[in-house]
Chain A
Amino acid sequence: MDNVSISFEKGEVHALIGENGAGKSTFIKTLSGAITPTSGTIVFEGKEYSHLEPRQAIDLGIAVVYQELIQFEAMSVADNIFMGVKDEEGFILDDKTRVEKSRELLKIFDCHVDPATLIRDLSIANRQIVELAKAIVKKAKVVVMDEPTAAITMAEQEKLYKVVKQLKESGVTVIYISHRLEELFIICDRVSVLRDGQYVTTCDIKDLTKQDMIKYMVGRELTNAYPPKAPHSDEVIMEVDNVSGNGVHDISFKLHKGEILGFAGLVGAGRTELMHVLYGAAKKEAGTIKINGKEVNFRSTADGMKAGIGLIPEDRKFQGCFIDKPIFWNNSISCIDTLTKAGVVDTKAEMKLAQEYKERLKTKTPTLTQLTSGLSGGNQQKVVIAKALAALPEILIFDEPTRGIDIGARYEIYLLMNELAEQGKAILMVSSDMEELLGMSERIIVLHEGHQSAELQKQEFSQEKVLACASGV
């Protein structure tokens, strides 16, 4: 980050946008005291600071709700809210008042969770509310929210917007980071844009359009958000008939060669769970799956791969790749047996494979021996995709393919999906990003609480319709 100056006013909701690697996280970390800036000052309520220590930032009233929530999983909501609050630090904890106080705090946010519930039993959205309640207890004047809507459902998003409005009305400044530009129009007053660690501009949201924001963020115009795709063939590659298991029930659909079939649903509707059943990562309890007309019964992920299915898991870091291993290593692990001579890995073939996929997916990296952890989110995702493609699947499952990825890299992934489909591969796509799902899919299957509630054709697509089916209305 280089020479960034932004001013935040009291009681405003100020969005901070930019592609991955633009410096948003670094900026927040200087505010929360996690890192020390090399130059420049932070002025808070008229007082100047060269840098902030974490404790100092808390005392000043700066609270950060990180994207990956840092909470005490095995403790209750009340305990989490009051952890580290100074006037609460007695020798003996008064659980009763804590619970009562917590209940009242949560009521502000229209959240009626029992404060004695353990954090790990809450949904992500409720956990975020707990963080916000914590900020209020600590009398935060500035609340930073890092992509709060990345992992929550549409209904929960609506609730979160209300919560943000409430914070604003009580005079709290909210710094709001998001990749979802549509929502900024709902909740923000002003928008600041960062690009490559540089400050670009600050504007009132009412003077901006989505195209403007994208232009500022990427430094060029992106006209079409979703590239056009050739229509698919009529040849059925996968036939799923009344499949149950892993929390989903009676799912049936046909998948054609060259098709992108979308799966919509709220968090917990069983989309990922269904994908795991189809891939062999979870047990199928009933129903039949046919691939190219032949019935299959997977007992392991290896069976699923052998049958030509590839999975790009929803959680890039914990399921998708080996984050502290090099790129080439990740690329070859799914097909390592085909790269061996008498059990010995052929390093030349391995490097050739990695080079091939690097060029094909346009992965930006200095070397193939670069550790995956050192790449940006978009490039990490390309490593995950390369790993799946290396096993030469005919059916690809993209589970949240662009979560937390910036616009430029997203577009490249969309192009790649279309290209794969046009080569005759079939794609199953799960996404919580409604625009993306509507833009990319040719058909959408909607799940509601583990059951299939609708199958929508392209001409019936609308956000309202999908949302209605997903909510079981």
Chain B
Amino acid sequence: MAVKKNLYTKRESGRAMDEVRPMTAKVGVVPSADGSAIFETGKTKAIAVVRGPRTLHPQHMQNPKNGVLRVNYGMMPFSVEDRIRPGPNRRSEEISKVTEWALSSVVDLSEFPNTVVDVFIQIPQADAGTRVAGINAAAMALAHAGIPMKEMVSAIGVGKIDKSLVVDLDKYEDSLFHDGEGSTDIPMVFTSRTKNLALLQLDGKISIPEFKETIELAKKACEKILVVQMEALKNVNGENGAPKGVPLEGNNG
């Protein structure tokens, strides 16, 4: 049996196989919120806003032992070429839920029983990887809102395009490439300290050894993303953000 040639040996964008698109991040972008952040990778932009903790209504949804984390993900109507009808759809509802699980794995709301912490993720411009960009923004916004968190999370889309393993799929790789073995998309979320998987989805065809390799690729990419998230949180100079420099000293001198 003849082995077929790999049809995707060079990325359409010119990036190296394990290269993440250029990233930027900023916190404090929505002044009236308790926490907010924007995260951009290439042309994909995600805004995340945190409101809460606040009393959860209706009352029967309250949890007397724990606060409730509630995530709402959505794409703005003008974010993609075919206008998206405003309001929830099956895709956005599913992404909201898996994002909620990923973030809940690090968020600790035990101090705030009967309350809800709302996370709103909105995508103004999409070029694949919107759920992972949204999670990167949301983790920053939750931290910015002062919500207790065991650690951060960072998210990345990895995958296989024909026979090549790639990091940070763009729109071409995610939805326009159909040759050979096609495109396999694997969004992953890693916790920043314990390096565990907090979200995993897979769509396509991949062997077990290849899948193992994508996990390592994703881990490495998440290290880079964490640096971007950290820098944005540590170097805030916005009016609503945390300080640049140091406002308070320890009382031990």
* A and B physically associate: no
Residues of chain A at the chain B interface (Cβ within 8 Å): none
